[in-house]
Amino acid sequence: MSGMKKLFVYLKDYKKETVLAPLFKLLEAFFELMVPLVMAGIIDRGIVDRDMGYIGRMGLCLLALGIVGLVSSITAQFFAARAAVGFSAKLRQALFDHIQDLNFTNIDKAGTSTMITRMTSDINQVQSGVNLVLRLFLRSPIIVFGAMIMAFTIDVKSALVFVVAIPLMAVVVFGIMIVTIPLYRRVQAALDRVLGITRENLTGVRVIRAFHQEQKEEERFTEGNRVLASLQMFVGKISACMNPVTYVIVNGAIIALIYIGAIQVNMGNLTQGEVVAIINYMSQILVELVKLANLIITVTKALACADRVAAVLEIRNEEPGAAKPGVVSEASVPPFLEFDHVSLTYQGAGDKTLNDVNFKVKKGQTIGIIGGTGSGKSSLVNLIPGFYPATEGTVCLEGSDIRSIPEEELRNRIGMVPQKAVLFKGTIRSNLQWGKSDATEEEMWEALETAQALEVVEGKAGGLDAEVAQNGRNFSGGQRQRLTIARALVRRPDILILDDSASALDYATDARLRAALRRIEKETTTFIVSQRASSIMHGDQIIVLEDGEVAGIGTHEELLERCQVYQEIYYSQYPEKAGDRPEGKNQPEKRNEDGSANAVTGGAGGAVKNTDGTGGGAAGDDKGEAGAGKGGR
């Protein structure tokens, strides 16, 4: 219930509708309560006295009551539907906007599947609940208590049956409501799980078929679906008890009314028409209680769903520490970008993903980031636009903690090319306009040329207006990557982040791309994340990561001399360069099974050909001295 209260704010623009809908329903209820009295008059005066004129006049009165009631009902439905649909539209928009504002930590914590369920199924349930409440929440109680009061005006003894029946039915209705509310929450949670399985299967259908796991996935879906179905059937059986139990109570009350009414008629205290009127009032109560029972079931679902929606709206981005104010000293200008002893721990993770990362970047520099799989490369660059908040230390841009910079201002200065190339349904032009909404065609073609994507666009019918399918399915992996790079370049950002965004490109295209990036304005600071040494070796500064820690910082030549991790990466990709390895104690040493030093390491690496074409020295010895043996051709 508390969740629903928090969502009422989205009804504030529909105050008129939320007042008029129940009022017109009350008007309908008033006319409906008059019908049994008219019927009693027709029986007691028209039929008993055989007054056909009176019967005709009362018949026209019944017709008028029916027409006015119908008009009132349609008007009430119009206002209720308008309020409910408008409320759900505003709520869905607010939920979507809130999710857009959440940082990656909170999105990961909540989960994509449950976000989708809450924005669709849950809000639809809340909409149905609001609609029914506006239509029936006042009408049904008014009919029930109005019918009881009208019965008391006819005969007190007969009306006492109402006093017993109505509390009994209230106990049944609200008792079932209390039991089913938590069960409906479990149903929605099970629906989340089924949606999660479905989403995984649709996004990973190629992998599932490649590994022939269709049967296993079918079994997993069947199990999730079975749990959901069993929960729905269980709570459905409990809810289904409401109608038959209320029918039993009401029909028992009607039997008692007929019995008491017959005695009262024999005694002359009641007329036949009055007995019929009392029974009609009891029938009206039966109908309204059935409606109320269905309303309670719908409202129960709506309340459970409202709590789930409100729970997402309550998620707030955490601020792990106070932002460092941007104070620039006249004596010393701060670096353009600085990582000041930064650490990052993901939500729910046991260990730090990044630990004590500390470096400075000048404006216009090209920074290469390299390391093994899982070393924290993507995590590091995700801290720059503030996708994840640093759990320790600060990331400063021009002397200001990025947390003190308005999010829109920060993101507008950054061009991000994520690890997974993502294109949106539309055209190439509309995708490039994500980078800059008012970009000219000249700016777009320039960005495409730099990103080596000219041939992609020129090869498509329509050029910039060529269609892009959802997720860019009508483009290859390399084409998608080049178009996402162009999207980032079109805004001419202060900081360009390429997060392993050339992994699907061949070496020739990658080389042309790097050459083109070096020709762009020197005002752009570029971060290149890659596992290829060739992609980052020409950078002004290279950051080598290992297990979330900085293993070395420097130029390509400096790291080859003194960073063992970088040496291992580089020489594993360029084994022919192993003969040029610098000698010294910093070189990695491989050992034989008996623990003695292996002659393949320490000095110049394996067989390097001499200028005359003969095989060179086999390898250095364990002291780093070059081997002297000659090899044949």
- pLDDT tens for 476-493 read 888 999 999 999 999 888
pLDDT value for 531: 86
Task: Dump pLDDT digits (tens) for 200-211.
Answer: 898 888 889 888
pLDDT mean over 307-316:
88
pLDDT: which is higher, 310 or 112: 310
Nearest to 537 by CA among 293, 308, 370, 300: 370
pLDDT mean over 615-628:
38
CA angle 621, 623, 628 (to 5 degrees): 35
pLDDT value for 218: 93
User: Residue 389 above 70 pLDDT?
Assistant: yes
pLDDT value for 88: 93
pLDDT value for 534: 86
* Pairing outcome for strands 337-344 and 541-546: unpaired
User: Residue 537 above 80 pLDDT?
Assistant: yes
Nearest to 394 by CA among 325, 346, 329: 325
Share of the chain above pLDDT 70, in %: 88
Nearest to 597 by CA among 578, 623, 561, 574: 623
pLDDT mean over 18-42:
87
Residue 141: partners with Cβ closer than 8 Å, 6 or more residues away: 292
Share of the chain above pLDDT 90, in %: 27
Q: Running DSSP on this structure, what letter comes out for residue 283?
A: H
pLDDT mean over 333-351:
86
User: Residue 600 above 60 pLDDT?
Assistant: no
pLDDT mean over 7-13:
87
Choose the weakest-confidence range: 18-32, 81-95, 167-181, 348-362: 167-181
Choose the weakest-confidence range: 330-334, 404-408, 569-573: 330-334
- Count Cβ atoms within 10 A of the Cβ of residue 536 and give its class: 0-12 exposed, 13-18 middle, 19 or more buried: buried
CA angle 12, 15, 17 (to 5 degrees): 130
Compute how many other C-beta atoms are within 10 angstroms of the C-beta atom of residue 315: 15
Alpha carbon distance 626, 617 (integer Å)? 7
Q: Sorting pLDDT into bands at 50, 70 and 90, what band is 614? A: very low
Q: Running DSSP on this structure, what letter comes out for residue 43?
A: I
pLDDT value for 103: 78
Domains and CATH numbers, the chain: 2-11+81-313 (1.20.1560.10)
Q: Sorting pLDDT into bands at 50, 70 and 90, what band is 581? A: low
Alpha carbon distance 518, 495 (integer Å)? 14
Q: Sorting pLDDT into bands at 50, 70 and 90, what band is 332? A: low
pLDDT value for 82: 94
Choose the weakest-confidence range: 151-155, 386-390, 586-590: 586-590
Q: Sorting pLDDT into bands at 50, 70 and 90, what band is 21? A: very high
**87 phi and psi, to 5 degrees?**
-60, -45
Give me the residues paired with residue 525 across strands. Answer: 495
- 37-56 in b/e form (b: 16+ CB < 10 A) is bbbbbbbbbbeeeeeeeebe
Six token digits for residue 49? 């006295």
pLDDT value for 583: 55
User: Residue 74 above 50 pLDDT?
Assistant: yes
Q: Sorting pLDDT into bands at 50, 70 and 90, what band is 266? A: confident
CA angle 415, 403, 319 (to 5 degrees): 125
Instruction: Find the helix or strand (DSSP H, E) in which 528 lies.
Output: strand 525-529
| Mean pLDDT of all residues belonging to the chain | 82
pLDDT value for 343: 93
Choose the weakest-confidence range: 507-521, 525-539, 554-568: 507-521
pLDDT value for 588: 44
User: Residue 225 above 90 pLDDT?
Assistant: yes
pLDDT mean over 496-520:
83
Confidence (pTM): 0.66
